[in-house]
Structures are given as C-alpha cells and as structure tokens.
Amino acid sequence: MTNAMTQTVARKSFDSPYDLEAPPGAEGWKELYPYNLVFQENLRDKENAKFWFCDSQHWPNVFKPFETVGVEFAVRCLGAFNTRHYIIPPANGIEFRIHNGFCYMSPVAVAPELIGDRVPHFMERAGYYFANWDSLLENWKKKVLGTIEEMDAINFEALPEMVDLEVITSGAGIDPSAKMMADYDRLIQLAYQNWEYHFEFLNLGYVAYLDFFGFCKESFPGIPDLAIARMVQGVDSVLFRPDDELKGLAELAVKLNLAEIFAVHEGAEQRLAAIAASDGGAEWLAAWEKAQEPWFNYTSGNGFYGSDVYWRDNLDLPIGYIKDYVARAARGDVLRRPTDDLIAERDRIVGEYSDFLSGDALATFQGKLGLARTVYPYVEDHNFYIEHWTMGVFWRKVRQLSALFHSYGFWENTDDMLYLTRDEVRPVIFDLATGWGVGADPIGPTYWPAEIERRRGIVAALATARPEPAFNTPPETINEPFTIMLWGITTEQVQQWLAGDDQENPGLKGMAASPGVVEGFARVITGPEQLGELQQGEILVAPVTAPSWGPVFGKITATVTDIGGMMSHAAIVCREYGLPAVTGTGSASTKIKTGMRLRVDGSQGIVTILE
Amino acid sequence: MSIYTFPFDSSETPEHERLGGKCTSLAIMTSAGAPVPPGFAITTDAFDAVMNQTTLREHIARVLDGLDHDDVAEVDTRAAHIRELILTQAVPDDVRDDTIAAYDALMTVCGGEVPVAVRSSATAEDLPDASFAGQQDTYLWITGQQNVLQRVRECWASLYTARAITYRAANGISDEGLSMAVAVQKMVNSRTSGVAMTIDPKNGDRSKIVIDSSWGLGELVVSGEVTPDNFLIDKVLLHVIDRIISDKHEELVPTGHGTVARREVEAERRNSPSLSDEELIAVARLAKSAEKHYGSVQDVEWAIDADLPPGQNVLLLQSRPETVWSQKETPVNYTSGGSGIEAITRSLLAQMGTRT
C-alpha cells in the first residue's frame, strides 16, 4: 500500500487489487472463496480496467466462506432484475469480488448505443409493475411468507440407529440421509428464491424515487437530498415495528408494576420466571409471546453474517433492551418515536416546496411525489421480510445443521460449518451419510478440525486490516444515481479518499443524512456485540449501522458512519428517530476515537472533532 | 414595570396613544420577529408627568395666552420661550429614574455604553404630519445618560415649534391632552452587513435565499469596490447549499461619533467568512420571515451588530419587495416533466447523463 499521507499531490488512482498484499498470516486466503469471486491472475488487465469500490456498508466484516452466500445471492439478483427482468435502459447489474476478505463492487454500464433499444422493453415491463403495484406487492408478500414457512419446516436431525419401521411398511425404500441432502439443497434454494423476490420491487422503488428526485433537482437546483428524502419517507415502516413492540412491552411492564423485576434480576430466564410468579405477570407474558412472531425474527446484525444473533434465538437481547426502556419509562421519558413531529415536519417541507410551484409543474410534483410515496414503503419494509425474517430462519437452519455435524465430531465449535463454502457442505453430508450407511466412521472428523483451524487463522488475519476504500482509476465523474444514493459514493467522496487524510482539518465531511446539530462524546462501535458499551447521550460512530440497532437509538444523540448514502440504513433510521446523522464519511470509525468530543452537523454533513 | 418606559421587546401590547406611531411600529416589528435594533420608548405618561406634576403646564398656558397666531414674529418668540421652559424644567424623580433604568438596561444588553438614536414619536394629529416630527427630531450617535436625557427633552420641546403651534391653532386642535413619546434605540454598529434576496436571481428559483455579505457597512459592496461573500441557502430546510468566500480587502466602520472610517481588513479576516454558520441561518430566517410577512419576494438589508450578543445580533435594516426577478417568467425546461412511465424513463436517462 502506498502511503497517501506523505503524498503532496493527490493521486489519480487507487491501488490495484493485484498489487495489494494480504495481511501476514492470511496467505492462501483466495482458496477460501469460490473461484469466480476473487480477482483471477489471468484477468489482471481486464479487472484493472474497472473501478471497484468497497461495500463495507453491507459487508463491514471479513467473510467466512459460507457467508458469501449473501453477497452472491443478493447482488446477482439485483443485477438480474436490472438486466434481464426490467431492462433498465442505462444500467446493468453490479459485478462483485472478494479481496482480502472484503467485498468490492463495480457497476456495469450499458453501452450508449444499446440504450435506445432497451427503452421500449423497460417501459412495458416496469410500466406494468408501476401500474399494478399494489396487487403485485400483495402477491409478493404471500410468496415471501410461503418461502419462509417452507424454510422453517426444514429440520436437520440426527440419523437414526435404524430407519423407521414406517419406511419398511410403507415401502418407501429411502432412508433419511436422502432427505437431509434434499433439505440442504432446498434450504439454499429457498434463500435464493427470497433474494430474487427481494429485488423484484426494490429496483423499481428506487427508480420511482429517482424520478421524483430528478424532478426536484430540476425545479429547485441544488435542493438538499435530505429534503427530497424527507418528503417521500414514511414514519411507520414495518422495519421499526420490532423496536416499537419492545417499547410497548416496557410501558406495559411499568403499568403492571413489573418494572422492579427488570432492575433486580439478570438475563431473560430469571426475569421471565420472576414475571411469571408476579401479579399481572400472565398478562405481560401473553403480550410478550404475541410480540415474538414475527417481530423477534430480528437481528442486531444485518442478516449477512452467520454470527448475526436474532432476538428469538437469544431472548437476553430483547429483554435487555426492554430493561433499558423500562428504566427510561419509569423516569418518565417518552419512548415512542416522535412520529407526529416527523409527519408535521414532512408536511411543512412538502407544503413549502409546493408553494414555489404552480400549474403543470405543481401537478407533476404532486404526481411524482404520490408515486414515490406509493412505492417507497417497500424500500424500507422489505428489509424486515428478507434480511431479518428470511435470513433469521436461514441462519437458524444453517446453525442447526452445523451443530448436528459438530455432534458427530466433524468440528470443534458448533458454528464451524461457516468456515466451509456452501458447496463444500454437500460432500460433508454425503460423508456422514456414507459412514452412517456403511456402518463405519465418516472421514470428516479426521479432516475438518485441522482444516477449519487453518481457515480460522486466515480469516482472523484478514480481519486485522481495514479494507481499502476502492481499487484502480475512478471515472472522472460518478453519475450513476444508484451508486450515489445507496452507497454515498460521489465524485467528491472518491476525490477525498484519493487525497488521503487531511492533517490540518480536524473533521470529516459526509452526507447530510439526517438534520440537526449536536455536540457530545464519541463511542466507536465496530460490531453489534459492542452495542452494550453505549452510554446515554453519546454519539455513535461506526463503520456502518444496521436498522435493527433501533433500540440503542433512544440512548444516543447522533450517528456518524464511514459508508452509506441518503438511503442507507443509518440515514433512514436516524431520520425516523429524529437524530442528526452524517453518513459516508469514509474514515470516521478509524479517525475518531471513543471519548473524543464531536460536533455533528447532520444538516451540513460535517463532523468536527472538538477535542 | 414602569409606566414611563416601554422596551420594544416587551411582552405587553403596545398602545399607540402611549407610545406614538414610531415606537408602536418598532414594538410590533420586534414582537413579530423582525429584529430591529433594540431600544425603548419613553411613553406619553412621562411627558404628562412632567407637564402635570410640575408647574410646566400652567406656565406654558400663560405664555400662549392671548397669542396672535398671525403675528409670525410673536409666535416665534413665544415658541422659543416655551421650548426653553421645557428644556430647563426639572423632571419628576420617578420619570428620570425610570428613564435612566431603561437606558442602563439597554446598555447592558449592548455590553457597555454604545451610541443611540433619540427620536420623537408622535401620537396623533398634534403635529403637521408624521414625517415632520420624525425628520426634525432625530438625534443620532448620542452617547451617555446626560446627553440622552437632554435629547429627550429636545424631542418633547419639538411639540412647541412655531409651526406646530400655528398648525394646531389653524386646525382647532386643543393643547389639552397634547403629548409626545420618545424612542431611544441603539445605533447599528455593523460588524458585517449585506443583503438577502428570497429568490435565486440566477434562475428565478424561489426555493432559495441568496445572501451577499461583507465586513462593516454595506456601501463598499454597493459601489462595487469590495466583492462580498456569497451564500446560497435552501429556504425550506435552511441548509447552506453553496458558499463563495471572497477577498474582502476593505471595510467601512462607524466611528461612534456619527462618522464612518474606511480601513484595510487585516490579513486573517479578509478571506474568512464574514458570517458564521449560525449567523447565516439567522439572516436566512430573517429574510424568510420578511417574505412571509409581506407576502412577496423580498430584498432584505441586514446587519450583524458588533455590540449585541449572539442570537440577538442579526438586525433588520430594511425590507422591500424584489421586483426584477420575481416578475420574470423563468420556466424550468424540464426533462423530467409529466408523469407515467414515459416521464420516468426520460428522467432516469437524464440522470445517468445519457439523454435519448
């Protein structure tokens, strides 16, 4: 890596991935990932001709081999809907690679001479979806829930000593190992299916948003992106329902005089037992049970990592959040998000901009805003159905299978299957089925523990280095609106990365993602497991946040992230909670240290380190 | 609260018959959020107290007794005599004390003794015309308690100019109930001044506020000798969209004695923004409320007063309708106009920089 800080003239290109050494101890890392996901030596020239940016927004941590399933399914399906379903005229999909354990992306443009031919197809196809949005979306929900239900029914169980008598008497003639193999394939296939559905509406949601966005930019040149986002955005997304459920449970606990239990007892088990033994406990427990399906299919991660913990799998999490809410409710704090204020402010903003327009322009403004508001809820809501619910069930089944192999001695830790790629799992199932069928030992227990140890070392070594923000030469201007809107990657941002650290300026610039100005002390959080360290009134500084960090947003006063645009999760959640946010700063989580005093100006996108 | 004085930012309702036209208008503007320079009124009750609690009223009546209003020289002589009486009459202690207290309070707000303007504020048709009093009895750059008290008496005395006396006689207006309020108001000490337009003159975009700003008084900007800082602000969110900081090499500053000094701006200040972000937003807010108040696009002159604390230092000097740009038809040439999938497609292509 060349040292950008010592250079006086801003460089024009980022390093090539081919010139970038892996951290010590990570040698051989490429073999951990599928061949098509790494930069292949024989494609050096071709790959170096493309500009790649790091998507640490969705994949902030090093992939364990199994975990590439998320990026593979998600980004492939994203591309397919642009390229093969709706024929979005100027945009194909996004190529993706893994380098030194992190994810890099490169959007694929459509050659200018081909764009015109795509237009009629786009109009026919996208037009159909816009015209039939509500009924298609209703069907979408059925399809997605059907997938989840089927996935949930999958069970990986130990193979029996002998097949059930029923196999004999029914003349089935097949043993349960066949079902285990089919179930594994089905699990992968079902996850793939819901990732297809994920993008069925999402890209079109962004297209309608961009249409309104473009009109606003023409009507009011220079209008802040934030103003447009606030006009479109709802305040009652399904995505915030899990957190709202916890708040409701906290308020109910206070009302039923159960607050004390949360203060004196530890953990979920103790507290639930104490509640069960209290007057009013039954009423609270009924509400608690009712809230769990589906709302506890919710993770403080982002759904892309096997280590993501889902509330329903670890009740200490929601109970812990409820404990904090109970304490605040008992102090008289208002727990609910300021939805009335947000709606009033949204109406004011829409009203004032409308007043500047008249005639056709006003009618167009209202029409486009109306469509954007129709399609936009999907942009937020889908996250609960796919990233949280679907992936929650998916990872639970993956962990169940991993634990099963662990019980057969295939690996040392219950979750070690994550160190295998998903395609390495099939031979493992066959290995087990063979040993079981033959009546001999499977080979895996003598092979995998050492191999997994080796891989664990490589993944740990990769995690010691932060990813480079980008590779190769950026385009002169970045005008691909999806890249700007979703990743916050602008021409200016890329130039800032190229310039390296500005020693004289004790601050950071990013997206003005949620308005307001606050001063306070920083708490740098690099993963959900650290969320418990946050103290009341601190400013959350993180490489990236997940919307599911909702319960801590009542504690903090502002958010600063390294990556993310106006429509990134941190931006959305901060606007919904009425907190200032600056996103896409590039390096806040490394430049800022816990305890530094900051001034966060979410209206101007500026973070100043005060001391 | 004293009946003799009335701060412009008082929460009480200003009564015209106690404050006179000028002070009432200043108090109404202040309570409406239009930040005029701070100050206070010396009410008609103060004047009445001087007249009624002393022998002044009878004394004046005696001087006017039997006056032939057609005898110009005689009117002049007696008017001068009455004014002399007003200027030398001892003022009742409570009137004097309350006036000094209001003045001291104003100086405290200003962070020390600063020059003020003292102006008469007539209540009714006691004087030939409203502007007459206003123009005639304006004393600028007055410093110090004693000088202010002296100018207040001069304002009171202006009720008895020869012209005023003749006017009342000609129109049958009795001296009964004749009274006068006086405005004492801080002189603006412009650290920074400029204009704010509630439209973007580049394109007629009404969602913007454009602010020009430079150090000191505004004349050098008007004459084109100094290029001001220029800011573009979104009117709805009050976010700064664009800023150009210019080299502002000279400034005009008030000397405190009613004159103005022209001076070089020192190196570290000339290329610094002449408005902080907070001040910028305060100026924008002021322009936006002026536009709302008057119901049309405004061109607002404003100043940042060096003597006043942050939060109170943005002052409105003048607001008038903007007529050049707001009358012009500046239709946007939309590539994203219309609705439906055709418009969406056009707009998508335009944003990708690839128009078909």
User: A207-257 pLDDT, tens per residue?
Assistant: 898 889 889 999 999 999 889 999 998 777 888 899 999 999 999 999 999
Amino acid A5: pLDDT: 42
Q: In this structure, are residues B187 and B106 in contact, taking their beta carbons and an 8 Å threshold?
A: no
Q: In this structure, are residues B148 and B5 in contact, taking their beta carbons and an 8 Å threshold?
A: no
Q: For chain A, what percentages of helix, strand and coil (3-state, to nearest 5) are there?
A: 60, 10, 30
ipTM surpasses cut 0.85: no
Structural domains for chain B: 5-186 (3.30.1490.20), 190-352 (3.30.470.20)
Q: With an 8 Å Cβ cutoff, are A91 and B338 in contact?
A: no
With H, G, I as helix, E, B as strand and everything else as coil, classify residue B208: strand
Question: CA dihedral defined by B89, B91, B92, B95, rounded to 10 degrees?
Answer: 150
Q: With an 8 Å Cβ cutoff, are A211 and B232 in contact?
A: no
What DSSP line would sit under B225-283, residue for residue? SSPPEEEEEETTT--EEEEE-----EEEEE-SSS-EEEEEPPHHHHTS-SS-HHHHHHH
Q: In this structure, are residues A33 and A98 in contact, taking their beta carbons and an 8 Å threshold?
A: yes
Q: With an 8 Å Cβ cutoff, are B236 and A481 in contact?
A: no
Distance CA A218, CA A610 (A): 38
Q: Is the dihedral of CA A210, A216, A221, A227 positive or negative?
A: negative
Q: What's the gap in Å between the CA of A410 and the closest CA on chain B?
A: 52
Amino acid A10: pLDDT: 61
Select from B200, B208, B336 the Cβ nearest to the Cβ of A215. B336
Q: In this structure, are residues B55 and B47 in contact, taking their beta carbons and an 8 Å threshold?
A: no
The token pair at A262 is 């949360």
Nearest to B159 by CA among B82, B255, B243: B82
Amino acid B133: pLDDT: 39
Select from B239, B336, B352 the Cβ nearest to the Cβ of A479. B352
Statement: residue B200 has pLDDT above 70 = yes
Q: With an 8 Å Cβ cutoff, are B334 and A223 in contact?
A: no
Select from A112, A208, A223 the Cβ nearest to the Cβ of B344. A208
pLDDT in tens, B138-187: 888 999 999 999 999 999 998 898 888 888 888 888 888 888 899 999 99
Which helix (DSSP H) or strand (DSSP E) does residue B301 occupy? strand B298-305
Distance CA B105, CA A368 (A): 55
Mean pLDDT, chain B, as a whole number?
A: 87
Distance CA A462, CA A308 (A): 19
- DSSP conformational letter for A63: P
Distance CA A460, CA A593 (A): 23
In terms of pLDDT, which residue wins out, A143 or B354? A143
**Region label for A267, one of left (φ > 0), alpha (ψ between -120 and 50) or beta (otherwise):** left
Give the strand order in the sheet containing A517-524: A507-509, A606-609, A597-601, A517-524, A539-542, A558-561, A581-583, A511-514
CB atoms within 10 A of CB A153: 11
Amino acid A330: pLDDT: 86
Count CA atoms closer than 13 A to A499's CA, side-chain side.
Answer: 14
pLDDT in tens, A563-577: 777 777 778 778 878
Q: What's the gap in Å between the CA of B342 and the closest CA on chain A?
A: 7
Sort out which chain B residues have CB atoms less than 8 A from A208's CB and list them: 344
- DSSP conformational letter for A479: -
CB atoms within 10 A of CB B342: 12
Q: Is B329 on the interface with A (CB under 8 A)?
A: no
Nearest to A208 by CA among A482, A586, A516, A503: A482
Amino acid A236: pLDDT: 79
In terms of pLDDT, which residue wins out, B31 or A40? A40
Q: Please, which pLDDT band fits residue B259 given cuts at 50, 70 and 90?
A: confident
Determine the residue of chain A that is closest to B333 in CA distance.
Answer: A218
CB atoms within 10 A of CB B80: 14
Q: Is the dihedral of CA A320, A326, A328, A334 positive or negative?
A: positive
C-alpha pair distances (Å), A189 with each of A132, A195, A346, A597: 28, 10, 41, 48
For chains A and B, CB pairs below 8 A equal 123
With H, G, I as helix, E, B as strand and everything else as coil, classify residue A467: coil
Statement: residue B28 has pLDDT above 60 = yes
Q: List the 243-302 stretch of B: residues with Cβ below 8 A of A.
A: 277
Determine the residue of chain A that is closest to B336 in CA distance.
Answer: A215
Q: In this structure, are residues A209 and A375 in contact, taking their beta carbons and an 8 Å threshold?
A: yes
pLDDT in tens, A41-65: 999 999 999 999 999 888 989 999 9
Determine the residue of chain B that is closest to A206 in CA distance.
Answer: B348
Sort out which chain B residues have CB atoms less than 8 A from A514's CB and list them: none
**Region label for A445, one of left (φ > 0), alpha (ψ between -120 and 50) or beta (otherwise):** alpha
Q: Please, which pLDDT band fits residue B77 given cuts at 50, 70 and 90?
A: very high
Q: In this structure, are residues A410 and A448 in contact, taking their beta carbons and an 8 Å threshold?
A: yes
The token pair at B41 is 């009124």
Amino acid B169: pLDDT: 83
Q: With an 8 Å Cβ cutoff, are A123 and B239 in contact?
A: no
Amino acid A1: pLDDT: 38
Q: Roughly how many angstroms between the first and final C-alpha of chain A, as a whole number?
A: 30
Amino acid A547: pLDDT: 64
In three state form, how does the secondary structure of A238-289 look?
HHHHHHHHHHHHHHHHHHCCCHHHHHHCCHHHHHHHHHHCCCCHHHHHHHHH
What is the C-alpha R_g of chain B? 26
Sort out which chain B residues have CB atoms less than 8 A from A353's CB and list them: 207, 236
Residue numbers in chain A where pLDDT is lower than 50: 1-8, 502-504
B223: phi then psi, degrees, rounded to nearest 5: -80, -5
pTM of the model: 0.80
Chain centroid to CA A382 = 11
Sort out which chain A residues have CB atoms less than 8 A from B200's CB and list them: 221
Sort out which chain A residues have CB atoms less than 8 A from B241's CB and list them: 222, 224
pLDDT in tens, B94-153: 999 999 999 999 999 999 999 999 998 887 655 555 444 334 578 889 999 999 999 999
Q: Please, which pLDDT band fits residue B356 given cuts at 50, 70 and 90?
A: very low
B96: phi then psi, degrees, rounded to nearest 5: -60, -50
